[in-house]
Structure 1
Amino acid sequence: MIEYCPVSAGVEAVGDRWTLLVLRELFLGASRFNDLHRGLPGMSRTLLAARLRRMQAHGLLTRETDRDGRPAYRLTEAGAALEPLVWQLGDWARRWFFGDPRPEQLDAGWLLWRLRQFVRSDELPARRVVVEFVLRAGPVAGTDERGWLVLAPGDASACRRHPGYDVDVWVDGDAVELHRVVAGRAGLGQAMRGGLVRISGDPGLAAGFPRWFAWRGEGGGSSEA
């Protein structure tokens, strides 16, 4: 027997891990296959392609061609309506079911990609700004990781290699704490006051850095967090 129940129908449409995570990436602004895949490091390209087809069949998204002639995925009205559910699930997990990152979950590439997705374009300076991140992994020499964000009006890039521009702002911090901040488990201001994260460089830009991102979870990026 297939029960006549809206909860059952909803679970059929979105009730698996990968569908919800693909939705998360779409809500964060990804639309092309490679960008979706970059935000889902544990998902194979084959599985992602299959899941996108399934989501199309359920009416959650459409596959279109963008201005450059490349395929792009867009949420339908039904898919977009799931956004509160996805973020509420994250808020619930953050409160009841979410701990500190395990060593295997520390990934500078993931962290930079998430921050790129969190950029608030309306809060950025009117010129290109380069931010260098140093993630301190512990006392063992050679374990620190570096990465860069290049932020410009209308564009944001995450780089694992030096982008070739002068650095304007440095973010130096404990790798675990920076992951906690980006995941919404800790506030940036709290991490700075505790000495776990330090922001330096051009004084005006360094002071404005917390406002450049749509931080999630308690505390956010406020210096008062």
Structure 2
Amino acid sequence: MEQPTDSPGLEYCPVTAAVQAVGDRWTLLVLRELLMGSHHFNDIHRGLPGANRTLLSGRLRRMQADGLVHRRPGPDGRPGYHLTPAGAALEPVVWQLGDWARQWHFGEPQREQLDAGWLLWRLRQFVRPERLPDRRVVAEFVLHDQQEPPEHAWLLLAPGDISACHVHPGHDTDLWVTADLRAMHRLVAGTTTLAAAGLDLSGDPALTAAFPGWFAWRVPGTGAGRS
């Protein structure tokens, strides 16, 4: 009797075919970055702690070969990576995996996972540009951690230009956001609510009132928002 092969490529099963195309860590995380609006190589790389540039280059080439991504000029004329119809169709799969993890396989952030720079980069991706004021707003985040001094990071929110900075951007601050670093990670991950995160907002009263509506916050347990 012939023994089964170890190669999944010979198994005629749609689940097997899907796992071959997207079933590794980095492909799914690159899909997440593209779905959240990162199209240039450096932007995708910034959202993937632990992935070196060589690994990312190889993964993008493989995703192009698999028909998930193509490289073409964007609206600004710069070449970038964009999802094909096949890649875009994976959006509900990516977010449902996050929902599953929140329910069954996700705990508190560990000390080595607390990263103010990554946090602000991810928060930048949650911004709803259509809800921002029609002028530049500089939001300074003061992030407290019991084991370390507070970290400062900034979001520059301007029409057509949203940036995250881990060094002072050279503009006066319009709005201060003071928060616990762990609570902010939980908020961005969608495991706590904005009210429970305990953000302390100060500065221009009109800006502090509007600030919560500038972001597509994840709503725990509802499937709403983005991972």
TM-score (norm 2): 0.90
AA in 1 matched with 2:173: V
Inter-partner Cα distance in structure 2 for 1:120 and 1:106: 24
Inter-partner Cα distance in structure 1 for 2:209 and 2:75: 37
Of all paired residues, the percent bearing the same amino acid is 65
Q: Which residue of 1 aligns with 2:30?
A: 22
**Per-residue displacement from partner, 1:117-162 (whole Å, max 9, x unpaired)?**
110011111111110001101165xx21100000011210001111
Inter-partner Cα distance in structure 2 for 1:94 and 1:210: 23
Name structure 1 gaps, 5 residues minimum. Answer: 221-225
| 2:116 maps to 1:108 | yes
Matches within 5 A, 1:39-50: 39-50=47-58
Pairwise CA RMSD:
1.5
Q: Which residue of 1 aligns with 2:135?
A: 127
Q: Is the 8 A contact 1:129 1:152 kept in 2?
A: yes
Q: Which residue of 1 aligns with 2:151?
A: 145
| 2:218 maps to 1:210 | no
1:71 CA drift (Å): 2.7
Query: Do the aligned partners of residues 69 and 207 (structure 1) sit closer, same or farther apart at CA in structure 2, a change above 3 Å counting?
Result: closer
Inter-partner Cα distance in structure 1 for 2:66 and 2:120: 32
Name structure 2 gaps, 5 residues minimum. Answer: 223-227
| 2:46 maps to 1:38 | yes
1:177 CA drift (Å): 0.6
Which residue, out of 18, 21, 32, partners 1:13? 21
Number of residue pairs matched? 214
1:45 CA drift (Å): 0.4
1:105 CA drift (Å): 0.3
| 2:174 maps to 1:168 | yes
AA in 2 matched with 1:62: H
**Deviates further, 61-70 or 20-29:** 61-70
| 2:63 maps to 1:55 | yes
| 2:164 maps to 1:158 | yes
1:59 CA drift (Å): 0.1
**Per-residue displacement from partner, 1:157-186 (whole Å, max 9, x unpaired)?**
001111111111111011111111111111
1:219 CA drift (Å): 7.9
Inter-partner Cα distance in structure 2 for 1:96 and 1:105: 19
Inter-partner Cα distance in structure 1 for 2:99 and 2:19: 19
Q: Which residue of 1 aligns with 2:189?
A: 183
Query: Do the aligned partners of residues 50 and 207 (structure 1) sit closer, same or farther apart at CA in structure 2, a change above 3 Å counting?
Result: same
Inter-partner Cα distance in structure 2 for 1:34 and 1:77: 23
1:205 CA drift (Å): 0.6
Q: Is the 8 A contact 1:25 1:36 kept in 2?
A: yes
Q: Is the 8 A contact 1:37 1:43 kept in 2?
A: yes
AA in 2 matched with 1:135: L
Which residue, out of 79, 84, 98, partners 1:90? 98
1:63 CA drift (Å): 1.2
Inter-partner Cα distance in structure 2 for 1:139 and 1:103: 9
AA in 1 matched with 2:104: W
Inter-partner Cα distance in structure 2 for 1:64 and 1:9: 27
Query: Do the aligned partners of residues 76 and 39 (structure 1) sit closer, same or farther apart at CA in structure 2, a change above 3 Å counting?
Result: same
Q: Which residue of 1 aligns with 2:107?
A: 99
